Chain A
Amino acid sequence: GDSVTQMEGPVTLSEEAFLTINCTYTATGYPSLFWYVQYPGEGLQLLLKATKADDKGSNKGFEATYRKETTSFHLEKGSVQVSDSAVYFCALTRNTGGFKTIFGAGTRLFVKA
């Protein structure tokens, strides 16, 4: 079945450091890929998306490229801020069957001032 694997955390960085959170997936067909962010005590919020191979999703300085050849969707940001501290979830959504979404386990990011 479909699955999403993302790097274990926590990831601890200093402010202005470069961020990479790895995400790989297993799925048949052509799912859409997403990154969601969860701040403490809140629900998940959509951060960015890519709906087909080679698409690049971007938002708030974060980027991720849908790589079908490596089944990956790694999240990157050039310069993190303290306010980026949160839990990040990689996810895939099928285009059929009720648009069910499979989530990775989440990666907690701590950014130090």
Chain B
Amino acid sequence: NAGVTQTPKFRVLKTGQSMTLLCAQDMNHEYMYWYRQDPGMGLRLIHYSVGEGTTAKGEVPDGYNVSRLKKQNFLLGLESAAPSQTSVYFCASSYSAANYGYTFGSGTRLTVV
């Protein structure tokens, strides 16, 4: 029972490089989310999706893009990485978060140098 799988687990980028983080879920959840976790700040929502083909901005969307071409996958792209994007990125999915909460992946630790 895989749940939510994030790849890669670790990555080091140089300033200005681009990359894509992949999130895959096998629970047939409609809702998917990308958060970043920084020390002392909890988790902040970057983008989210309420279904296949939809995306919406969260609290801190600048510098990121997302796509949800298939229901099970939610991709997070960094167009031109900056040191301020050094963080741990978590993907989560939900059937009905108000009743059941989120299922999280294990995270991607990204360092931008």
Q: Which of B50, B90, B106 contacts A98 (CB 8 A)?
A: B50
Instruction: List the one stretch of B37-45, B61-69, B76-84 in contact with chain A.
Output: B37-45
Residues of B within 8 Å of A103, CB to CB, are 35, 42-44
B28-69: which residues lie under 8 A (CB-CB) from chain A?
31, 33, 35, 40-45, 48, 50, 56, 58
Contact call B101/A34, Cβ cutoff below 8 A: yes
Residues of B within 8 Å of A45, CB to CB, are 104
Residues of B within 8 Å of A4, CB to CB, are 42
Contact call B42/A94, Cβ cutoff below 8 A: no
Task: Mark interface residues in B64-104 (1 if CB within 8 Å of A CB, else 0).
Answer: 00000000000000000000000000101010111111111
CB of A44 closer than 8 Å to a CB of B: yes
Interface residues on B, range: 20 to 34
Contact call A44/B48, Cβ cutoff below 8 A: no
Interchain nearest-CB distance for B96 vs A (Å): 7
Residues of A within 8 Å of B96, CB to CB, are 99
Residues of A within 8 Å of B44, CB to CB, are 103
Contact call B99/A43, Cβ cutoff below 8 A: no
Interchain nearest-CB distance for A59 vs B (Å): 11
Q: Smallest CB-CB separation from B101: which chain A residue?
A: A46
Question: Given contacts A32-B99, A34-B101, are A100 and B58 in contact (CB under 8 A)?
Answer: yes
Question: Given contacts A42-B106, A45-B104, A98-B50, are A32 and B98 in contact (CB under 8 A)?
Answer: yes
Chain B interfacial positions (CB closer than 8 Å to A)? 4, 31, 33, 35, 40-45, 48, 50, 56, 58, 90, 92, 94, 96-107
Cross-chain pairs A/B with CB under 8 angstroms, 24 sampled: A31-B98, A32-B97, A36-B101, A36-B102, A42-B107, A43-B90, A43-B92, A43-B104, A44-B90, A44-B92, A46-B100, A46-B102, A49-B100, A51-B98, A89-B42, A89-B43, A94-B98, A95-B98, A99-B97, A100-B33, A100-B45, A103-B43, A103-B44, A105-B40
